C-alpha cells in the first residue's frame, strides 16, 4: 500500500484533519487539484468565528461550532494567527421579529453559548451608536479571523508532522480493492498516475458528492445543491465604523444568516452573503451588480447611515448545501462508510457554514473515528 491515509481536498477542513491525524499516524497524503491549499470555499467566506447560536440543539453543526469556536481561539493565540473576538449583535428592526430573537436566545443557551445578553435600547446605543435596532442580542464569543493565515498554520503543522501534499492533482477515478482503494490522479498537464491507500477521507467540498460517486457511493439523501453567496464592499466617505458584527435575525430555515455586516481585520466592512441556488451545480463566482439594490434595502434597515452608491460588488462563495431550496435545516454529514460496504472510507458532505469555525473540532471528530476502528494498518 502506498499510503495509509489519503485525504482528498486541501481546504480548511482537509488541512485540519491532516494536522490532527498526523499527530498519531504516518503515511498520510493530501491530494489537492489546485496549485495551492484553500483556493475554493475556504477563501470565499465571511471569515467569522461563529458562536453556535443558530443551529438546532444536538446537531453536529451546534456541537462542532461551539467546540470549534473555543479551539480556534486557543489555536490563534498559540500560533499568533490574526483574529479579533469583536462580538456580534443580532438585531431586530421591527417588533414582530422579537419572538424570533427570543427563540435564538433560548437556542443559544441550550447550545451552551456563553454570556449571550439581551440588550436594552440604552445598551444598544452605547455599543453601536450608529445602527438602528429595536432589540438586540449580544454574543461576545463571535469574532473574525484571517482564514489564510489559519490555513497556512494548519499546512505548516501537517508538513512538520510528516504529511505529504500533492498539489495540481485531481482525483479522477477510484476503485475499491479487497483492502484499500486505488486512486487515479491527473496532474495539470493532463497526464495520469495511480496510487493505493488503505483509508480515504473525502473532504472535497463542492466536489465531495462527485468523489463519493466515483467510489460507488450513490446517496440520494445526500445530494449537494450549490448555493452562491455574493458580497458587496462598502467604499467611500460617510461610512461609519462599527465595532461589532451586526446581523439581522436569520431566515427561519437557515438557508442563510441574512445579509449582514462583515468586518475585516483591517477595519473595512462588507455586506453579504445573499442566497442564490445555482442551477446544475455550476462553479459561478460572478457578482451581479444589479443586486446592489436588494443589499442596500436589506442592510439600510439597521444601518441608517448607508447610501446605495457606497456599495460595490466584491466577491462570491458557493455553499455546498444538502438543504435544497425551500427545504428545512440539514446538518453536516461526517460518515464512516464501512457499513455500506466501503471499509476505511470517510465521507464529509455538506460542510457549509460553520465549517470554517468548526475545522478543528471536525479534525478531532475524524481523529476519534480513527481511534474507534482498529484496522488502520
Ligand X SMILES: Cc1cc2nc3c(=O)[nH]c(=O)nc-3n(C[C@H](O)[C@H](O)[C@H](O)COP(=O)(O)OP(=O)(O)OC[C@H]3O[C@@H](n4cnc5c(N)ncnc54)[C@H](O)[C@@H]3O)c2cc1C
To ligand X, the closest distance from the beta carbon of 42 in angstroms equals: 3
Bridge partners of 227, per DSSP, are 277, 319
Return d(Cα 202, Cα 311) in angstroms, integer: 38
Residue 257, CB-side half-sphere exposure with 13 Å CA sphere: 27
CB of 223 to ligand X, least distance (A): 16
Q: Which of 370, 358, 349, 376 is nearest to 147 (CA)?
A: 358
Residue placing its CB nearer to ligand X in the complex, 70 or 134:
70
Compute the least distance from the CB of residue 233 to ligand X, in Å: 14
Nearer to ligand X (CB atom), residue 137 or residue 255: 255
As measured in angstroms, the least distance from the Cβ of 11 to ligand X is: 2
Using the structure block, give the residue that is written with the C-alpha cell 495551492: 36
Q: Do 19 and 211 meet the contact criterion of CB atoms below 8 Å apart? A: no
> What would the 3-class secondary structure string for 313-360 be?
EEEEEEEEECCCCCCCCCCCEEEECHHHCCCCEEEEECCCCCHHHHHH
Min. distance of Cβ 90 from ligand X in angstroms? 14
Nearest to 69, CA basis, from 159, 143, 152, 154: 143
Q: Contact residues for ligand X (CB under 6 A)?
A: 8-14, 31-34, 39-42, 44-48, 50, 170-171, 203-207, 211, 229, 273, 317-319, 351-357
Instruction: Residue 273: name the closest of 203, 353, 328, 351 by CA.
Output: 353
Nearest-CB residue to ligand X? 355
| 20, 246, 262, 302, 356 from 259: Cα distances, Å | 34, 10, 9, 11, 19
Give the shortest CB-228-to-ligand X separation in angstroms: 8
Residue 274 vs residues 57, 98, 182, 325: alpha-carbon distances, Å: 25, 22, 40, 13
**Quick one: 105 or 259, whose CB is closer to ligand X?**
259
Shortest distance, CB of residue 123 to ligand X, whole angstroms? 25
The H or E element spanning position 61 is: helix 60-79
Asked if omega into 99 is within 30° of 0 (cis), the reply is: no
* Shortest reach from residue 362's CB to ligand X, in Å: 8
Nearer to ligand X by Cβ, of 135 and 320: the residue is 320
Nearer to ligand X, 98 or 166 (CB): 166
Closest to ligand X by CB, 38 or 344:
38
Among residues 270 and 319, whose Cβ is nearest to ligand X?
A: 319
CA gap 126, 358 in Å, rounded: 32
C-alpha cell at 89: 449583535
Amino acid at each position: 500500500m502506498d499510503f495509509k491515509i489519503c485525504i482528498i481536498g486541501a481546504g480548511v477542513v482537509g488541512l485540519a484533519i491532516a494536522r490532527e491525524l498526523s499527530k498519531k499516524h504516518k503515511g498520510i497524503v493530501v491530494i489537492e487539484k489546485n496549485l495551492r491549499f484553500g483556493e475554493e470555499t475556504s477563501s470565499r467566506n465571511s471569515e467569522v468565528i461563529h458562536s453556535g447560536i443558530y443551529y438546532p440543539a444536538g446537531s453536529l453543526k451546534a456541537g462542532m461550532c461551539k467546540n470549534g469556536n473555543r479551539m480556534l481561539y486557543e489555536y490563534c493565540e498559540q500560533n499568533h494567527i490574526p483574529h479579533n473576538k469583536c462580538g456580534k449583535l443580532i438585531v431586530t428592526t421591527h417588533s414582530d421579529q422579537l419572538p424570533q430573537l427570543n427563540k435564538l436566545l433560548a437556542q443559544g443557551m441550550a447550545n451552551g453559548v456563553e454570556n449571550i445578553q439581551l440588550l436594552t435600547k440604552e445598551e444598544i446605543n452605547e455599543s453601536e451608536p450608529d445602527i438602528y435596532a429595536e432589540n438586540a442580542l449580544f454574543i461576545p464569543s463571535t469574532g473574525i479571523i484571517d482564514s489564510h493565515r489559519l490555513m497556512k498554520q494548519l499546512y505548516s503543522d501537517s508538513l512538520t508532522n510528516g504529511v505529504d501534499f500533492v498539489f495540481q492533482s485531481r482525483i479522477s477515478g477510484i476503485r475499491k480493492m479487497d483492502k484499500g482503494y486505488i486512486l487515479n490522479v491527473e496532474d495539470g498537464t493532463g497526464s495520469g498516475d495511480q496510487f493505493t491507500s488503505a483509508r480515504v477521507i473525502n473532504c472535497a467540498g463542492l466536489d465531495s458528492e462527485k468523489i463519493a460517486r466515483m467510489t460507488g457511493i450513490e446517496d440520494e439523501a445526500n445530494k449537494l445543491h450549490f448555493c452562491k453567496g455574493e458580497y458587496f464592499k462598502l467604499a467611500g466617505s460617510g461610512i461609519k465604523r462599527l465595532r461589532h458584527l451586526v446581523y439581522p435575525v436569520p431566515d427561519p430555515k437557515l438557508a442563510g444568516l441574512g445579509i449582514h455586516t462583515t468586518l475585516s481585520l483591517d477595519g473595512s466592512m462588507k455586506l453579504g452573503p445573499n442566497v442564490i441556488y445555482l442551477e446544475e451545480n455550476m462553479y459561478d463566482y460572478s457578482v451581479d451588480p444589479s443586486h446592489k439594490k436588494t443589499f442596500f434595502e436589506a442592510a439600510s434597515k439597521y444601518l441608517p447611515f448607508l447610501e446605495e452608491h457606497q456599495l460595490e460588488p466584491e466577491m462570491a462563495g458557493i455553499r455546498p448545501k444538502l438543504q435544497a431550496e425551500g427545504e428545512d435545516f440539514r446538518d453536516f454529514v461526517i460518515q464512516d462508510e464501512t457499513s455500506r460496504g466501503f471499509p476505511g472510507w470517510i465521507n464529509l458532505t455538506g460542510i457549509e457554514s460553520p465549517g470554517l469555525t468548526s475545522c478543528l473540532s471536525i479534525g478531532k471528530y475524524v481523529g476519534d473515528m480513527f481511534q474507534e476502528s482498529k484496522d488502520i494498518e
